[in-house]
């Protein structure tokens, strides 16, 4: 297939850009432009599987950063390459968030976060501003949160969507790490933004409306005590075409928010809260955490988060032996079915422990333990024993390291062991779900500091005992070499691994295969601002199953320049 050129992106301005130190008013900084350009071309071949890349990939990418007087930075980037067989431009987003002193302006495609349960990183097309003069914290954004998507008989697989427009405002007081913010978000779908919705999607795609009011705070009560709180109340109307209902009561709060959102039969009011209080000294600390998110809690300012949960947790930490021994852990419980409408209530117990012991620079050991249990209780209906969910997940990891070093040579030895186990406590289902995974890695790393030569050798072993007597294992060595030449202008590396694969089925038949990976890399510094790169990789997979035998070979030559 002849590759066609595809322009994958225009310029994407990242942000916010941070202000630099102010210069004297008499000498204004000139405009500065910096950036780079990269080009690559390569080849790709595959046997045994469908190609996963273009046979002759190539591309061109560049970035430009414009520094304006006053410390305003405007970064741009673009990519041009061949992907697909037709010319298209599926991604075209522009955005900028310049910062000057205590003010930031947002324009174009942006994602901004005011609090976790209101405006929390949802991308919008529009504008906004955040200003923090002194301890005052103000922010406001407005824009299109969703683009209208229409469907037709010619394109029945396209899922339609209404155009969604919204705004959010923030008013707060304090400094980073010690503040209180009040946030409000208001968003609504435009029912006229698309034509008639097909009957197959009419039960799913409905014009919605949302009003969220929240508070977020981080407070230092006294020297060692901190308080964190995030809370929000969301009024979410799932269909703005449903009949309105009269609001109850005449409180000032009802009259205020009743002007912003009309309560309807499809309107649901839910809330979300997460809070923590922590105590911290030089060598110890503890934090108590609480979270509750009502069933069906939603905000149009975030993409997704888990709802219908309530959890409690405690997280202590301790430092001993002048910091050589550090301990931290957590234990918590979590459950759902807060509205008691589900057939069963699911509970979880989560515990973890992290220990790190570093008696000397040359030696250290780390231990990580976690235990996750899940069980069910009867809800509105009794639970049948044969399908009752009761499981325990245990994980343990040990990392050790030993270093021998002098002025010329560095030797590093590592040993890592990991054990993961899923135990089904229901004897009726255990035979189908019980499994364990074990992984061992023994590594040696050698580096000559003066010559730039390095080597590493890793021996690994992985075994998975699956349900119904199935077992899979991988084991073998991995070798890597690095070397610099021409006064470090030319850097090279070689890597290779050989893994043996064994699979044992329920009938005790055994299949054996192998996986070979090899790669070579080189980089040459042409000058102060130019470089050449070369990469080649080979993969041969033969797991013992005829349908899984294949090999791939790919290579890339690249050129880069900065200015």
pLDDT single digits (tens) 291-328: 999 999 999 999 988 899 999 999 999 999 999 999 99
Q: 248 or 262: whose pLDDT is higher?
A: 262
The answer to whether residue 443 is domain-embedded is no
**One domain for residues 406 and 459:** no
Q: 38 CB contacts (<8 Å, ≥6 apart)? A: 60, 61, 62, 558, 559, 560, 561
Lowest pLDDT segment from 17-26, 51-60, 78-87, 412-421: 17-26
Give yes or no for residue 3 having a pLDDT over 50.
Answer: no
Q: Domain ends where: 76, 98, 120?
A: 98
Q: CA-to-CA distance for 104 and 141, rounded, in angstroms?
A: 11
Q: CA-to-CA distance for 450 and 553, rounded, in angstroms?
A: 34
The answer to whether residue 362 is domain-embedded is yes
pLDDT tens per residue across span 210-233:
999 999 999 988 888 999 999 999
The answer to whether residue 144 is domain-embedded is yes
Q: Domain ends where: 68, 98, 128?
A: 98
Give yes or no for residue 270 having a pLDDT over 60.
Answer: yes
Q: How far is CA 197 from CA 149, 165, 191, 244, 265, in A?
A: 10, 19, 10, 22, 21
pLDDT tens per residue across span 519-548:
999 999 998 899 999 999 999 998 777 667
Nearest to 257 by CA among 205, 185, 172: 185
**One domain for residues 83 and 136:** no
The answer to whether residue 438 is domain-embedded is no
Give yes or no for residue 106 having a pLDDT over 80.
Answer: yes
Residues in the chain: 563
Q: What is the pLDDT of residue 503?
A: 83
Q: In the predicted model, what is the mean pLDDT of the chain?
A: 85
Give the distance from CA 430 to its chain's centroid: 33
**One domain for residues 151 and 92:** no
Q: What is the pLDDT of residue 59?
A: 86
**One domain for residues 384 and 462:** no
Cβ–Cβ under 8 Å, residues 319 and 354:
no
pLDDT tens per residue across span 122-173:
999 999 999 999 999 999 999 999 999 887 666 667 778 899 999 999 999 9
**One domain for residues 204 and 298:** yes
Q: How far is CA 30 from CA 70, 489, 509, in A?
A: 10, 33, 74
**One domain for residues 255 and 176:** yes
The answer to whether residue 318 is domain-embedded is no
**One domain for residues 300 and 394:** no
Q: Is the dihedral of CA 246, 249, 250, 255 positive or negative?
A: negative
Cβ–Cβ under 8 Å, residues 165 and 146:
no
> pLDDT confidence of 404, banded at 50, 70, 90?
very high
Q: 22 or 159: whose pLDDT is higher?
A: 159
Give residue 181's domain range. Answer: 102-307
Interior/surface letters 493-512, b for 16+ CB within 10 angstroms, e for the rest? bebebebebbbbeeeeeeee
Q: Tell me the sheet residues that pair with 441.
A: 416, 460
Q: What is the pLDDT of residue 394?
A: 94
Q: 562 or 257: whose pLDDT is higher?
A: 562
Lowest pLDDT segment from 47-61, 88-102, 162-176, 281-295: 88-102
Q: 412 or 157: whose pLDDT is higher?
A: 412
Q: What is the pLDDT of residue 507?
A: 61
> pLDDT confidence of 199, banded at 50, 70, 90?
low
**One domain for residues 299 and 403:** no
**One domain for residues 299 and 173:** yes
Q: What is the pLDDT of residue 153?
A: 63
The answer to whether residue 446 is domain-embedded is no
In this structure, what is the dihedral angle of CA atoms 332, 335, 339, 343, given to the nearest 10 degrees? Answer: -170
Please state, as a whole number, how many other Cβ atoms lie within 10 Å of the Cβ of residue 376.
Answer: 19
3-state helix, strand, coil in the chain (%, to 5): 5, 60, 35
Give the distance from CA 138 to its chain's centroid: 28
The answer to whether residue 312 is domain-embedded is no
Q: CA-to-CA distance for 60 and 62, rounded, in angstroms?
A: 7
**One domain for residues 252 and 349:** no
Number of domains in the chain: 4
Q: What is the pLDDT of residue 54?
A: 86
Give yes or no for residue 90 having a pLDDT over 60.
Answer: no
Lowest pLDDT segment from 90-99, 260-269, 341-350, 478-487: 90-99
Give yes or no for residue 84 having a pLDDT over 50.
Answer: no
**How much of the chain, in percent, has pLDDT values that exceed 70?**
85
Give yes or no for residue 14 having a pLDDT over 70.
Answer: no
Q: What is the pLDDT of residue 436?
A: 93
Please give the backbone phi and psi of residue 258, each rounded to the nearest 5 degrees, phi first.
-65, -20
The answer to whether residue 114 is domain-embedded is yes
Q: Domain ends where: 398, 429, 460?
A: 429
Give yes or no for residue 554 having a pLDDT over 70.
Answer: yes
**One domain for residues 547 and 421:** no
Give the distance from CA 386 to its chain's centroid: 37
**One domain for residues 374 and 300:** no
């Amino acid at each position: 297939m002849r590759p066609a050129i595809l322009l994958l992106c225009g310029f994407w301005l990242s942000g916010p850009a941070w202000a630099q130190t102010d210069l004297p008013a008499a000498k204004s900084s000139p405009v500065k432009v910096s950036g780079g350009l990269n080009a690559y071309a390569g080849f790709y071949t595959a046997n045994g599987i469908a190609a996963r890349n273009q046979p002759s990939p190539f591309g061109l990418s560049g970035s430009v950063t414009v520094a304006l007087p006053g410390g305003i930075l405007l970064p741009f980037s673009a990519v041009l390459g061949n992907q697909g067989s037709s010319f298209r431009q599926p991604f075209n987003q522009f955005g900028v968030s310049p910062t000057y002193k205590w003010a930031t302006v947002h324009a174009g495609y942006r994602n901004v976060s005011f609090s976790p349960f209101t405006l929390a990183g949802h991308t919008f097309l529009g504008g906004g501003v955040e200003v923090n003069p002194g301890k005052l914290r103000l922010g406001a954004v407005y824009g299109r949160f969703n683009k209208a998507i229409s469907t037709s008989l010619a394109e029945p697989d396209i899922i339609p969507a209404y155009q969604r427009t919204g705004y959010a405002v923030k008013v707060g007081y304090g400094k980073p790490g010690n503040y209180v913010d009040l946030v409000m978000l208001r968003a609504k779908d435009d029912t006229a933004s698309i034509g008639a919705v097909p009957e197959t999607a009419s039960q799913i795609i409905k014009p919605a409306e949302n009003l969220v009011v929240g508070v977020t705070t981080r407070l230092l009560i006294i020297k060692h005590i901190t308080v964190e709180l995030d809370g929000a109340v969301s009024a979410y109307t799932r269909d703005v075409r449903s009949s309105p209902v009269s609001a109850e009561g005449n409180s000032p709060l009802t009259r205020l928010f009743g002007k912003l959102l009309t309560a309807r039969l499809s309107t649901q009011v839910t809330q979300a809260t997460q809070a923590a209080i922590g105590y911290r000294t030089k060598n110890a600390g503890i934090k108590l955490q609480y979270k509750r998110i009502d069933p069906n809690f939603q905000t149009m300012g975030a993409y997704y988060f888990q709802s219908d949960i309530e959890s409690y947790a405690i997280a202590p930490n301790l430092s001993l032996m002048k910091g050589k021994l550090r301990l931290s852990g957590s234990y918590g419980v979590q459950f759902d079915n807060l509205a008691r409408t589900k057939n069963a209530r699911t509970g979880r117990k989560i515990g973890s422990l992290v220990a790190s012991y570093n008696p000397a620079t040359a030696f250290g050991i780390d231990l990580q333990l976690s235990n996750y249990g899940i069980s069910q209780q009867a809800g509105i209906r009794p639970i049948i024993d044969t399908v009752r969910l009761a499981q325990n997940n245990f994980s343990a990891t040990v990392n050790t390291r030993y270093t021998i070093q002098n002025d010329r040579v560095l030797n590093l030895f590592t040993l890592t062991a990991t054990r993961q186990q899923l135990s089904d406590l229901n004897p009726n289902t255990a035979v189908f779900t019980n499994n364990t995974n074990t992984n061992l890695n023994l590594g040696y790393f050698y580096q000559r500091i003066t010559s730039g030569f390095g080597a590493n050798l890793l021996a690994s072993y992985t075994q998975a005992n699956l349900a119904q007597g199935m077992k899979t294992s991988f084991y073998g060595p991995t070798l890597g070499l690095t070397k610099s030449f021409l006064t470090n202008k030319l850097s090279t590396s070689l890597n290779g691994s050989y893994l043996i694969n064994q699979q044992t089925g329920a009938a005790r038949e055994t299949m054996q295969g192998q996986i070979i990976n090899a790669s070579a890399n080189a980089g040459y510094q042409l000058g102060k601002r130019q470089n050449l790169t070369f990469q080649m990789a080979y993969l041969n997979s033969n797991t013992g199953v005829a349908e899984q035998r294949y090999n791939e070979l790919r290579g890339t030559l690249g050129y880069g320049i900065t200015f």
